[in-house]
Structure 1
Amino acid sequence: MAQGQYGVDLDALDQVIKELNHVLKEMGDSKSTAKNSTYLPKGSLGKGFKEEGQLYQAHDLMKGDIERLIDMVEGLVDRFGKKSSKVRGAYQDAEADNTVGMK
């Protein structure tokens, strides 16, 4: 490689994209669990005690926070994966252009 030039490992970028897509797939399970399997049935902690309402309210708030955090992380991973894919495509195009220009 000549001085002032750089190289990009397209296989490494492919691997990053593949792993990010796998993370997104796996996050679907966590998102589903947080949304559908995280509940506190009324009466499960007992009934008629002073803090009963506060406990259920705290649970609902925490459940909402967890769902929002999962959405934020999922969005971040998705954006990074899409940007990585665009970068990979741009480098691949540039590499092809340089190869054609050298002939």
Structure 2
Amino acid sequence: MPEAGKVPAARSECAGTPAINRRTDNGRLHVSRQQRRMIDFLSNGGQYSAADISTALRMSDPRSVIRDLRVKGVNIADEWFKSEHGGRFKRYFMQKGGAR
């Protein structure tokens, strides 16, 4: 029986919580293999649509990888473009000082 006044920790405070902004011992950002591939791809200076990234890196959902990297503080910018068929889409690119 727990002591009076002590409440067990909430689930988010337990081991199942992902370490979103975790850094390694040398201060570098801890990223997954997919995230590292995305950083390397965007670091070459080009601008790419989600379809371009998906084809080049064989990723099914590059936008979620970009979202997760932004949460970690990586400077990935985007810009809207109009397509030939009346729709619009974003192109993603790395801003200066992108990967810390």
Q: Normalising by structure 1, what TM-score?
A: 0.24
Structure with the bigger percentage of strand: 2
* Structure with greater Cα Rg: 1
Q: Normalising by structure 2, what TM-score?
A: 0.24
